Every structure is written in structure tokens, then in C-alpha cells.
Amino acid sequence: MECEFPTVNSNKKEIEEIFNSVKTIAVLGLSPDESKDSHRVAKYLQSAGFKIIPVYPKEDEILGEKVYRSLVEIPDSVDMVNIFRKPNALDAIADACIKRGDVKVFWAQKGIVNNEAAAKAEAAGMKVVQNHCSMVEHRNL
């Protein structure tokens, strides 16, 4: 698979606005393995005061939170999706975010770019961040 350069992306000012407005973050691909990036990033965001909602195909609880199998199963409002999945999964994730109607931010972690999915999310009114680590960006504020 060829890597994409992000053509749809938020700037530093928008990223700061995202962190000032977001309260609940669904972490898609949140591994229970403490050595994985998804776990470390989610734990950091949780310690910074954000409500984390794990989305993972296994486990009942990660970081003390109930695990959901998909974005559509989450009963609570979701401000942001923080995605730790392969780029080809982002189209379906964008569709699920649009279907939910409450997601304000579509965030694909470092190394993850899918411009088609990003454009779809942006067209639906979401702020989009691709190829940036949410932990690094939050720490830099």
C-alpha cells in the first residue's frame, strides 16, 4: 500500500481549539497491551481529564472503562474519534461518525492517512486531523 500525504488536515490553532472543546474521546483500536501506542496515548489523554471510551474487538474493560465493539454501540455522546486503525478502515469509520451525528473531530493518529475518508468527514462538518499524535499535540499546548 502506498502512503498518502494528508491533503485534509487541521492547523495548530484548530488543534488547540479541538482540545479546548472536546470532552469525550472514543479511541478506536485501543489495545489492552500497555506497550502499544494506543494504550499509552489513551492513558495520557485520560490523565489529562478527557473521558475515554475504548473501542476494541475483545476485552470488557480497558483503562477502567467499558469496552465497545464498534462506534455505533456507544450510548454516550462522542466529541472526537481517535483512530488507531489501518488507513483502509477509515472510510467505514467516517461513515459511522456521520451516522452517529455527534462526532465533531475525526483524528487519525501518526502514520495514518486516508484523504478520501478525511474529505468525507470534513464535508459532514467534522474537524479533521491526520498523521498527528494526539498525545504529542496536547503536550505541545
Task: Please name the residue that has the C-alpha cell 474537524.
Answer: 127
pLDDT value, residue 38 = 98
Domains of the chain: 12-140 (3.40.50.720)
Which helix H or strand E contains 108, and what residues bound it? strand 105-108
Tens digits of residue pLDDT in 32-47: 999 999 999 999 999 9
Tens digits of residue pLDDT in 94-122: 999 999 999 999 999 999 999 999 999 99
Q: What is the pTM of this model?
A: 0.94
Strand duo 24-28 + 80-83: pairing: parallel
Q: Are 53 and 76 within 8 A, CB to CB?
A: yes
What angle in degrees, to the nearest 10, is found between the helix axes of 115-123 and 90-100? 10
